[in-house]
A and B are shown apart, each in its own frame.
Chain A
């Protein structure tokens, strides 16, 4: 637990584990984390939401109305963002596929 803010240091999710255990095209762990945030935001911007890194240990999910929530892993971003924007974030949605193909 972080002594200053009381946040539990979460166990790494499988996709986040890759930061330290997989080579990532020469990116450092910090760079990789920011790259992951940028890739997630490509999808989230379609839903007027976004995610940002929080001190290298968590992520902050926000929407256009100012709602904000901290999550532990990138996998935990999606249900929170869906709750905020009240829509499913579905990679099989044709609009998402079309937008991502253009990105």
Chain B
């Protein structure tokens, strides 16, 4: 079997319509570390124009056929990835060592991740990098409160990039940052206008263990419970978006088998409403942590870290759910896994 290190990483760049995905992509492609990146763009409309902007990797840009990844593109995505692979093998295009998929603004990222993690041929040549979502600070209220895809994009993200902050007052920008931190406590929230924004870090270009530790250290920060209700949060509630997050800390190491059975049972019944589960777990019998990462019904293969990023070796779990009673979720976890939740924060 192909080793993890030999697989070509695939980063998914998502975000609502007009939220600045292509602008961010162009900035990414200026990074020397990404000079050998192929780009897949999924476009709405008969003529896809955005790909014309992606000059540096022009030869390796493939425009996916379908306008909507969420329901029809899995075959297209598979063909596009394997097509790139074939062209690389035949030296028809410059060698690439990374792929970035820019989704449509209306895409549900779940099926894309499912394709990358489960399609037998794809997963033997590619591995999922991370998921980056752009959020337009000027229109975050509209995008997130009225479009379930926008919420799914934020929930699935490992990095959230707030764009167009120069068009809004600093207070509104702060509200958007705070709301995103509440919606997805496991994702790092960055500002696209930040000159110091590290593109390589954004894409986790560096070795997995290094990047993984850094990103996990991020959500060892205090839980989002102290983020007060914001205007955007109120808007989300007004529009009936029952999305919430639950951050847990467990004192004792988990029984991995019991946890796996419980989570598989939960996702079977409520996978559509478990928008994200992400955890760094202390597992019985192991000295180092294990990462679990799931988006709806899709769970990444568990990943080992070589060491704990901080001296706190307790399990951390984050759930982003829609319409699920958090208190019941917590009691179910405790009852089915024999776990005891030491601290929890809901937002």
Contacts and interface: CB of A to CB of B under 8 A. Distances in A.
Nearest to B300: A14
B269 A36 contact: no
Contacts of A6: none
Interface in A63-83: 74-75, 78-79, 82
B261 A36 contact: yes
Contacts of A100: 332, 335-336
A91 B332 contact: yes
A101 B258 CA distance: 13
B261 A74 contact: yes
| The 5 residue pairs across chains A and B that have the minimum distance between CB atoms | A15-B260, A25-B285, A75-B264, A78-B268, A101-B335
B265 to A, nearest CB: 5
A92 B299 contact: no
A97 interface: yes
A98 B336 CA distance: 10
Most B Cβ at <10 Å: residue of A11, A17, A78, A96: A78
Given A17-B302, A18-B302, A22-B302, A39 B258 contact: yes
B256 interface: yes
B329 interface: yes
Given A40-B261, A43-B261, A97-B331, A91 B336 contact: yes
Binding site secondary structure of chain A? helix
How big is chain B's contact interface, by range?
35 or more
A89 B267 CA distance: 11
Nearest to A43: B265
A75 B270 CA distance: 13
Interface residues of A, number: 34
Given A36-B261, A43-B261, A91 B283 contact: no
Given A15-B264, A78-B265, A35 B332 contact: no
B268 A22 contact: no
A73 to B, nearest CB: 8
Contact of B266 (A13, A92, A98): A92
Interface in B231-276: 255-258, 260-270
Given A22-B256, A79-B268, A89-B268, 20 more contacts: A13-B264, A14-B260, A18-B257, A18-B260, A21-B304, A22-B302, A22-B304, A24-B284, A25-B284, A26-B285, A35-B257, A36-B260, A36-B261, A74-B261, A75-B267, A75-B268, A78-B265, A89-B265, A89-B269, A91-B266
Nearest to B258: A39
Contacts of A96: 332, 336
Contacts of B334: 101
B176 to A, nearest CB: 32
Contacts of A94: 328
Contacts of A17: 301-302
A53 interface: no
Contacts of A35: 257
Contact of B270 (A14, A18, A92, A97): A92
A75 B264 CA distance: 5
Contact of A90 (B118, B258, B269): B269
A14 B302 contact: yes
Contacts of A90: 269-270
B120 interface: yes
Contacts of B262: 91
Most B Cβ at <10 Å: residue of A24, A26, A39, A94: A39
